[in-house]
Chain A
């Protein structure tokens, strides 16, 4: 069966520091992968998606970037965090038409 992992579960970072969040999927190959952010009172926002290694599409301009160095690994990064980057970050993968979500990473930028 397929499982999706996110690391770390919780992160507290100072403004201006770098960020790296990792998402890995097991039990499938060549999945479509997605990064979402859930900010307080703002619902779920799609940030990036990837249909293959090295292929990244950005949905909204922002302070973040994504990379897919391996088939089942999706990384969300920032060079300098802003206060507004705080939120709950969710990774998802697609099985045919359905998206399945990871456990999420809670990021607090102080």
Chain B
């Protein structure tokens, strides 16, 4: 079974400052890694994903994440946040199962509050 830990439940940050959201996972098999963002009262929007290849992944809205296999981490970063980045961010891993498609396991989420 897989598990995902998001180490910070809330991250306050000032506008134009950098932010890093931490994500660690455990799995006995290879996984795919994802970051999703959820704005208030909305569904989840895919920010970026790591499937294979380069360990530095760039996503939408200026976000990027780095896959570190030895540390089983997939931390999300943005060099300069905007007020509009205020949202909840979810890290997730998936394993492709032939009979079930891919099943996602989510972390508990990190709420980012960007202050002016």
Contacts and interface: CB of A to CB of B under 8 A. Distances in A.
A57 interface: yes
B104 A97 contact: no
B11 interface: no
Contacts, number: 54
A32 B36 contact: no
Interface string A38-64: 000001101001010000010000000
Interface of A: 6, 32, 34, 43-44, 46, 49, 51, 57, 90, 92, 94, 97-104, 106
A99 to B, nearest CB: 6
Given A51-B99, A99-B34, 10 more contacts: A44-B44, A44-B106, A46-B103, A92-B44, A94-B102, A97-B94, A97-B102, A100-B46, A101-B44, A101-B45
A49 B46 contact: no
Given A43-B108, A43-B109, A44-B90, A51 B41 contact: no
Contacts of A34: 104
Contacts of B43: 6, 90, 101-104
A46 B107 contact: no
20 contacts: A32-B102, A34-B104, A43-B107, A43-B108, A44-B44, A44-B106, A44-B109, A46-B103, A46-B104, A49-B103, A90-B44, A97-B49, A97-B51, A97-B96, A98-B46, A99-B34, A99-B104, A100-B46, A101-B45, A104-B41
